[in-house]
Copies of this chain bind each other. A is one copy, B any other.
Amino acid sequence: MFNISLTDIHRSYIDCLNRQDWPELGRDVNADVLHNGRAFELSGYRAMLARDFTDIPDLHFQIELSVSEVPQVAARLAFHCSPKAEFPGLDIGGRTISFAGNVFYEIQDSKIVSVWSIVDKDAIEEQLRR
């Protein structure tokens, strides 16, 4: 029951990102959200995500694996997209790259309160070397 609920909240959050429905983000994300241990507040978190979509116009979050146990969800996200310039600190220049992100979310009172995210930079570098 709880597990289904956490998974639902996470899916709703991912759908919200993919729609770029920024006014709705606060439905699934707490006002004092932490990202990689840093306090962002919802406004800062929203701004970071909106900037990601500006920098990567075809950005799309796809859930590849999902593991849920109260109060956490862990998800492996798959990306196939074309960052216009630098990402993450690498000169992509519009090339299409594929990579994964492994992310942990802590959910309290039906909202994401903390996110621990790592992007597979090694995989991107390998594609740039080809």
Residues in A lying within 8 Å of B, measured CB to CB: 3, 65, 67-69, 72-74, 76, 88-89, 100-104, 116-122, 125
From residue A125, how far is it (CB to closest CB) to chain B in Å?
Answer: 7
Contact indicator A122/B67 (Cβ below 8 Å): no
**Inside 8 A of A67's CB, which chain B residues have their CB?**
67-69, 72-74, 104
Q: How far is the CA of A125 from the CA of B118 in the complex (A)?
A: 13
Contact indicator B104/A76 (Cβ below 8 Å): yes
From residue A116, how far is it (CB to closest CB) to chain B in Å?
Answer: 6
From residue A69, how far is it (CB to closest CB) to chain B in Å?
Answer: 5
**Inside 8 A of A65's CB, which chain B residues have their CB?**
72, 74, 104, 116
**Inside 8 A of A104's CB, which chain B residues have their CB?**
65, 67, 74, 76, 102
